[in-house]
């Protein structure tokens, strides 16, 4: 299957578009075979198909990284579905923008979507807007969660380190646990834990 770019210069017409394929599965139990067969049926040679498969707790993206290096201007990357390219909408949109910057087109077979031509530019713009909206929603949910957690007394940031020797000194000077906590700006529970570990008298 040969793809040609209709909106290109005479010089570009000399270049025959090369087909590449990319497939991905998000769980170790899934198989890449179906996606690979689809890509081969669309005319992609096996040596130009790059794949990533989740192994254990991580997803190896070596196939994608190699694909980024191999493709050149006017090449076409075929992917079976939108969700097979990126891990989420934002990731997919960023990848499409990356390839668009190289002059490389991405075509999603099952979805009938391509980034080639004028309509393709619209697709890139729309997906970028969707990704931005998704990032804003995530940020908004995160901020709402932080506000709710703070209202419940949950503290954020790096855990405060308590000076054990200072606790020992203040306790030996006769200061109460409550005052030690106020003095050091830490919780009473933390002071009690240090005192108990040092087997000091609580008095």
Run of H or E including 168: helix 164-172
Instruction: Answer for the pair 200, 168: CB distance below 8 angstroms, yes or no.
Output: yes
Q: Is 26 designated active site?
A: yes
> To 10 degrees, what angle do helices 188-197 and 164-172 make?
80
Instruction: Answer for the pair 102, 112: CB distance below 8 angstroms, yes or no.
Output: no
Distances in Å between the Cα of 156 and the Cα atoms of 110, 138, 161, 191 are 45, 18, 14, 19
Q: Which of 26, 28, 45, 197 is catalytic?
A: 26
What residues act catalytically?
26
């Amino acid at each position: 299957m040969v793809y040609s770019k209709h909106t290109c210069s005479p010089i570009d017409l000399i270049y025959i578009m090369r087909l590449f394929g990319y497939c991905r599965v998000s769980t170790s139990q899934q198989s890449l075979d179906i996606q690979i067969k689809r890509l081969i049926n669309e005319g992609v040679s096996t040596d130009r198909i790059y794949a990533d498969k989740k192994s254990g707790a991580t997803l190896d993206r070596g196939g994608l990284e190699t694909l980024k290096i191999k493709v050149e201007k006017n090449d076409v990357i075929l992917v079976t579905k939108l969700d097979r390219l990126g891990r989420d909408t934002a990731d997919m949109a960023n990848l499409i923008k990356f390839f668009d910057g190289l002059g490389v087109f991405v075509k999603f077979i099952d979805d009938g979507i391509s980034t080639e031509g004028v309509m393709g530019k619209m697709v890139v713009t729309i997906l970028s807007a969707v990704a931005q909206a998704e990032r804003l929603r995530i940020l908004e949910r995160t901020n709402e969660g932080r506000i709710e957690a703070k209202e419940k007394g949950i503290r954020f940031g790096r855990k405060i380190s308590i000076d054990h020797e200072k606790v020992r000194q203040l306790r030996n000077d006769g200061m109460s646990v409550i005052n030690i906590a106020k003095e050091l700006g830490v919780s009473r529970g933390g002071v009690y834990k240090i005192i108990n570990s040092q087997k000091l008298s609580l008095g």
